[in-house]
Amino acid sequence: MKEGLPLWEVFVRAKGGLSHRHVGSVHAADPKMAVDAARDVYTRRMEGVSLWVVPSAAITASDPGDAACLFEPAQDKVYRHPTFYVVPDNVKHI
């Protein structure tokens, strides 16, 4: 059974206004079971107000071998960092 059940990635929204964040994964046979398992494993200590579960198989990941061409060209483009203006004190979570 342990080997047989598909893996699901779990995302938790910590509170209203924040986006869902990846927190880990669970094994489950169907979507309801995955939500139940995610609830029991990852939100026991008031970590969240909303859950997403996504079949791990549905995720397409970038190829680590492509990292050089995908990500390194961004390294010397400091002008793309939005650091040239002042963030108001009341704006959180940017």
Partner 1 sequence: MAHDLAVRLGDDALILGHRLSEWCGHAPTLELDLALTNIGLDLIGQAQLFLGLAAAAEGEGRDADALAYRRTEDAFQNCLLAEQPNGDFARTIARQFLFSAWQELLLRRLADAADQEIAAIAGKAVKEVTYHASFAAGWVVRLGDGTAESHQRMIAGLDWCWRFTGELFEDGCAALRTEWDARVDKVLAQAGLDAPEPVRGITGGRRGRHSEHLGHLLAQMQYLPRAYPDAVW
Residue 25, C-beta contacts closer than 8 angstroms, at least 6 positions apart: 7, 8, 9, 10, 56
The side-by-side arrangement of strands in the sheet containing 21-27 is 21-27, 7-13, 50-55
Instruction: Establish if 23 lies at the interface with partner 1 (CB under 8 A).
Output: no
The tokens for 76 are: 């010397």
Instruction: Establish if 12 lies at the interface with partner 1 (CB under 8 A).
Output: no
Instruction: Establish if 22 lies at the interface with partner 1 (CB under 8 A).
Output: no
CB of 63 to partner 1, least distance (A): 30
Residues forming contacts to partner 1 in the complex (CB under 8 A) are: 1-2, 5, 26-30, 32-33, 36-37, 39-41, 44
